Amino acid sequence: MPVNNSLQKTFAEFFSGIGLMRIGLERQGWKIVFANDIDAQKREMYRANCPNSDSYFHLGDIHKLSISQIPSIGLATASFPCNDLSLAGGRDGLKGKNSSAFWGFMQIIKEMRSNRPRLILIENVPGFLTSRCGRDFEDAMVALNDLGYSVDPFIIDAASFVPQSRQRLFVVGSRISDSASGLIAERFYQSSVRPSALADFIFGHPNIKWNIRQLPDPPRTSLRLEDILEDIPNTAPEWWSKERSKYLLDQMSHRHREIADKMTVSRAWSYGTVFRRVRNGRSMAELRTDGLAGCLRTPRGGSGRQILFKAGRGTYHARLLTPRECARLMGVGNFKIAVPLNQALFGFGDAVCVPVIEWIAENYLNPLWNEHLARPVQARNKQGLVEYTVAF
């Protein structure tokens, strides 16, 4: 008799990218049985870190997946494209060319009918909440409700776990029976994972079937930017020429240049990160020195490539963050990397932070699963003998 994977901690990873969602869930006892992504270059990085993935990975457009390819699962994850939801994008929302892939995912869940997973985990940028004045987020939550899922959104910053500022909006959709489902408990207030904008949205949309679960505050890491840097000698070719480094310095505003100059005259080395941005039609270099890297991004057009600025002892140096440093910023320092620089930066820039996924699994998915899906219930078979089944 075939095993019903929907009764086990199995999951399907849609929009899998380089597989960091998989790594985080596997570390908390979940087993992957299906993965899908459209990007062959990300698939290459995925395969290098999971050689047996050919048995379950399907490369291609999510809109063209056949429901027959997808086994029964307990959890479906979807880190769908953020291009049209991000403040840095065109803000075309869920109707946009890329982010509309969300509806491809929803169509798959719909077609699974009675075999739908008990849990769904969605991940995207905080701009999802405000896209088209909140209409996109409302449409997505209502669509999940229509498929039988109550919903619970929260926001987590990867800076709680690694030295990278990376806020992401998560939504857990649940088909698990709960007497409080659809109600906003009186004990619910805004918190570190549900800031005021999200709390206001929840309270302002009673038409949505919410199921808000109490969560602890995420931890506070002591890691800082310098803790994840590779030890690259100042004479190594990774560091830019003096002329290129000076050009970067000259692109800084007066305020940022003052900070850089103070770093340079210090007796000790200190570090910051730089992004280039266009301000008033001019390319500007913005320096960050709070011990955190900026949010890793995909390096389209070069502007998303994050620059390390190192200064002290009367001099300064600049270079791009290395793929290994990016891996460490995503919580996977041992990730195998055998691809060109830009390919690696694309992969990590589009990925999820592994310790964040581990935290969600440990503090949300696993307790919910254990409370409602792994509770044994006594039942008698035709011979009158006691058997144990899984409660739903």
Burial label for 165, CB within 10 Å (0-12, 13-18, 19+), is middle
Alpha helices in the chain (DSSP H): 20-26, 40-49, 101-111, 127-130, 135-146, 196-203, 242-250, 254-265, 323-329, 341-349, 354-360, 366-372
The answer to whether residues 227 and 291 touch, using CB atoms and an 8 Å cutoff, is no
Which one-letter DSSP state was computed for residue 351? Answer: S
192 φ/ψ angles, rounded to the nearest 5 degrees: -65, -25
Sorted by where each begins, the domain ranges of the chain are: 5-221+353-378, 225-347
DSSP 268-317: S-EEEEEEEEEETTEEEEEEE-SS-BPPP---GGGTT--EEEEEETTEEE
Q: Which residue, chain included where needed, has tokens 């698990």? A: 176
- The three-state secondary structure class of 168 is strand
- Give residue 126's identity as a one-letter amino acid code: P
- Write down the pTM of the prediction: 0.91
From first to last of its 392 residues, what are the pLDDT tens digits of the chain? 455 665 689 999 999 999 999 999 999 999 999 999 999 999 999 999 999 999 999 999 999 999 999 999 999 999 998 877 766 556 677 887 788 889 999 999 999 998 999 999 999 999 999 998 989 999 999 999 999 999 999 999 999 999 999 999 999 999 976 544 444 554 566 899 999 999 999 999 999 999 999 899 999 999 999 999 999 999 999 999 999 999 999 999 999 999 999 999 999 999 999 999 888 888 899 999 999 999 999 876 555 789 999 999 999 999 999 999 999 999 999 999 999 999 999 999 999 999 999 999 999 999 999 987 655 544 444 555 444 344 43
pLDDT at 304: 73
Q: Half-sphere exposure of 389 toward its Cβ, with a 13 Å CA cutoff? A: 9
Structure tokens at 131: 């896209």
Please report the pLDDT score of residue 298 as a whole number.
85
pLDDT of residue 386: 41
Residue 47 sits at φ, ψ, to 5 deg, of -60, -40
Fold of 5-221+353-378: Rossmann fold (3.40.50)
